[in-house]
Amino acid sequence: MARKQVTGIPAAGPRVGRGVVARRWTGLRRSRATLAFLLCLPLVLLVVGLIVYPFFYAIYLSMLNKAETAFVGLGNFAFLFERSTFWMVVRQSILFTLTAVFFKALIGFVCAHLIHNVPPRGQRLWRGLSLVPWVIPPALSTLGWWWLFDPTYSAVNWLLTSFGAAAVPWLSDVFWARFSVILVNIWYGAPFFLIMYLAALKSIPEELYDAAKVDGASAWQRLVHITLPMMRNIIAITMLFSTIVTFANFDIVRVLTQGGPRNTTHLFATYAFKLGIQSGDIPLGAAVSLFMFPILALFAMFILRDVRERTKRL
C-alpha cells in the first residue's frame, strides 16, 4: 500500500531518502530567498546609490577644509557654532518646521474628520480634490504662489486693494515672508496628513463608538478616549516623517524668497545651497545640511521605539 501523502512535498520514492528531501527543501527555500533578494536588488541598489552613499559622502565632505585638501574633523561644525547668521538659520528652521508641522497635522486631522463624515459617494471626490496640492510638484505650485505674492503685482493684493484693504508686503517684510513660506508648506503638506488620518479613522472599529454612545459618551469624550488613542501611532509616525521632510525643505523658500529679506527665511537646505553651490564651499554646505541629523535621528529613535512598544501592547 502506498504511503499517504500528507504534505505538499512529494512522497519519497524507494530510491529517494530523507536526506535528499531535506536537501531539496533547503534548495527550494534558498532559491526563493535568492529570488526575493534579486527582486529587491534594484531597490537596494537605488537606496544605496541615492541615499546611503550620498549620506556617508556628505559626512566625509563635512569634515574637509574648504579646498577639500585636508581633514578637519568637526572643525566645520565648530566654525558654524560661532556664526550668528547660522544660528539665525537654525532658529528659522525650527520655527518653520514646528509651525508648519503643527498646522499641517491640525488641518489634516480636522479635514480627515470632515471627509470621514461625508456620505461614501461624495468622499471619493473630496479625497481626490484634497490631494491636488500634494501631487503637484512643489517647485511648480510654489511658482503659482509666487505670482499670488509677487512683491509688486501680487494677485492677492489686487483683491485686497479692490475691497479697500491695504496691500500686504507678503515677501518683502520679515514677518509676512516667514508667514508666506510656512503657509505654502502647510498648503502643500496638509493633504499627506489628511490621507493618513483618513485611513487611520477608517480602521477604527465602529463598535467602539457605538459602545461609547450607549455609555453616554459625548463627541469630545469619544474623540479623546477612542479616536486619539487609536490614532496615536499614525499621528506619531506622520509627525516624525513630516518633521524630517519639513526640516529638509528647499524649493518653497528657494522659489518664493531665496532666503530673503535679510536672510530671514533661510532654512538649512537653502543656506547650505548658498554656501556650498553658490559660494563654492561644499564642506561647509555639507556641515549645514547635516547639522540636524543627530537631533532628528534621536527624535526618530524615541518615537519609533514608542510606536513599537505600543504596537506590542495592542
Partner 1 sequence: MTEFGQTRRRFLATTAATGALAVAAPFVHTARAGGRVTLGLWDHWVPGANEVLREIALAWGEKNKVEVVIDFITSIGEKDLLTAAAEARAGVGHDIFVHRTWQVAVYENQLEPLDDLVAEIEKNEGAYNDIARYLARPNGTWRAIVAPTGSHSYPMVSRLDLWKEHAGIDLLELFPAGPRDQARIDAEWTYDTFLEGARKLHAAGFPFGNPIGQTSDSQDWLGSLFLSFGSQPMNADGEITIDSDGTRAALEFMKELTRYMPDDVYAWDDAANNRWIISGRGSAIQNPPSAWAVAKRDAPEVAAQLWHHDTPSGPAGRFRGSLPFFWGLWDFSTNKSAAKELLYHLASKEQVAKLLWASQGYDLPLQPDYYDHEVWLKESPPPGTLYNYPGRGSEQVVVTGFPAPPAVGARIYNEGLLAVLVARVTQGGESVEDAIAWAAEELEGYQRG
For residues 104 and 274, which CB has a smaller minimum distance to partner 1 in the complex?
Answer: 274
For residues 75 and 133, which CB has a smaller minimum distance to partner 1 in the complex?
Answer: 75
Least separation in angstroms between CB 281 and partner 1: 8
For residues 67 and 74, which CB has a smaller minimum distance to partner 1 in the complex?
Answer: 67
Q: What region, left, alpha or beta, does residue 165 occupy, with left being phi > 0 and alpha being psi -120 to 50 degrees?
A: beta
Least separation in angstroms between CB 199 and partner 1: 36
Radius of gyration of the chain (CA): 27
Q: Residue 237 burial (CB < 10 Å; 0-12/13-18/19+)?
A: middle
Spatial separation of the C-alpha atoms in residues 233 and 19, rounded to whole Å: 47
Instruction: Specify the 3-state DSSP secondary structure of 163.
Output: coil
Least separation in angstroms between CB 90 and partner 1: 15
Least separation in angstroms between CB 249 and partner 1: 16
Least separation in angstroms between CB 157 and partner 1: 10
Residues forming the site for partner 1 (CB under 8 A)? 65-67, 79, 82-85, 151-153, 169-174, 177, 254, 257-263, 274-282, 284
For residues 25 and 56, which CB has a smaller minimum distance to partner 1 in the complex?
Answer: 56
Spatial separation of the C-alpha atoms in residues 8 and 12, rounded to whole Å: 12
- Cβ-based neighbours of 269, under 8 Å, separated by 6 or more: 248, 249, 250, 253, 289
For residues 186 and 286, which CB has a smaller minimum distance to partner 1 in the complex?
Answer: 286
For residues 162 and 278, which CB has a smaller minimum distance to partner 1 in the complex?
Answer: 278
Q: CA of 313: how far to CAs of 236, 307, 310, in Å?
A: 16, 10, 5
CB 287 within 8 A of CB 62: yes
- Cβ-based neighbours of 135, under 8 Å, separated by 6 or more: none
For residues 17 and 280, which CB has a smaller minimum distance to partner 1 in the complex?
Answer: 280
Least separation in angstroms between CB 25 and partner 1: 49
- Measured in degrees and rounded to the nearest 5, phi and psi for residue 64 equal -110, 160
Least separation in angstroms between CB 180 and partner 1: 10
For residues 109 and 170, which CB has a smaller minimum distance to partner 1 in the complex?
Answer: 170
- Cβ-based neighbours of 165, under 8 Å, separated by 6 or more: none
**Among residues 50, 202, 40, which one has the least CA distance to residue 115?**
202
Least separation in angstroms between CB 263 and partner 1: 6
